[in-house]
Amino acid sequence: MKNKQKLLAIYSKLYARFGPRKWWPAETDFEVMVGAILTQNTAWANVEKAILNIKKEKALSPKSFRDISLGRLKRLIRPSGFYNEKAKKLKSFTNFLFSSCKGRMDRLKLKNTRFLRKRLLEINGIGPETADSMLLYALGKPVFVVDAYTKRIFSRHGMIKKYASYGEVQDFFMNNLPTKRALYNEYHALIVELGKRYCKKTKPLCNSCPLKDL
């Protein structure tokens, strides 16, 4: 089977199995971008606790993030781990928002994808996966998000090299799938669901994996 057919077949199979994932779970685009930083190497349940703390203080907005002290921000996001690093990252990100669009997300969305990605990657603490998550899930740009599960699953099934770089994996998906943000949105979320259930690090082979016979 060709890669294009195979990728769509896998998508259909995962969608039939897990249904729509409804990503990204957030009330605002700003919340999505904050969550993208907080979830770095962190279980989502812990991110939710941090976000709830911020919401309780009514501080989940660009202006609040600009005005809040670093120490107070650290205290609020503590449950998400790496809080010393992440508080600084959130401040850097907030500075970017005000310098590029006066803290207004609707203005940020008007800028073109390549430019935005370049600028996001210049921010300390935002790498490829975080930048692409922001572009896709907050700004609605058609960018495929690659994570550890994506590499693990698709290399185990022989579709990409085991040590393929982020860009190589991303190109593989974007060159073989139609450029649709809704498709990219759902596909990545489905991959994460599959990975959580069937493709852990410590289990090299997944006998019950839904993709076993493909």
Residues that bind DNA (CB under 7 A): 23-25, 35-36, 39-46, 49, 78-79, 81-85, 123-131, 133, 137, 147-149, 163, 165, 192, 196, 200-202
C-beta of 95: minimal distance to DNA in Å? 14
Q: Which is nearer to DNA, 29 or 147 (CB)?
A: 147
CA distance 48 to 17: 26
C-beta of 81: minimal distance to DNA in Å? 3
The structure tokens 């057919």 sit at 5
Cβ-in-10-Å burial (0-12, 13-18, 19+) of 185 comes to buried
Give, to the nearest 10 degrees, the angle between helix 113-122 and helix 83-101. 140
C-beta of 5: minimal distance to DNA in Å? 27
Q: Which is nearer to DNA, 82 or 98 (CB)?
A: 82
CA distance 187 to 33: 19
Q: Which is nearer to DNA, 1 or 204 (CB)?
A: 204
Q: Which is nearer to DNA, 83 or 144 (CB)?
A: 83
> Which amino acid makes up residue 127?
G
Q: Which is nearer to DNA, 6 or 210 (CB)?
A: 210
C-beta of 24: minimal distance to DNA in Å? 5
Number of other residues whose CB lies within 10 A of the CB of residue 49: 14
Give, to the nearest 10 degrees, the angle between helix 3-18 and helix 166-176. 90
C-beta of 10: minimal distance to DNA in Å? 18
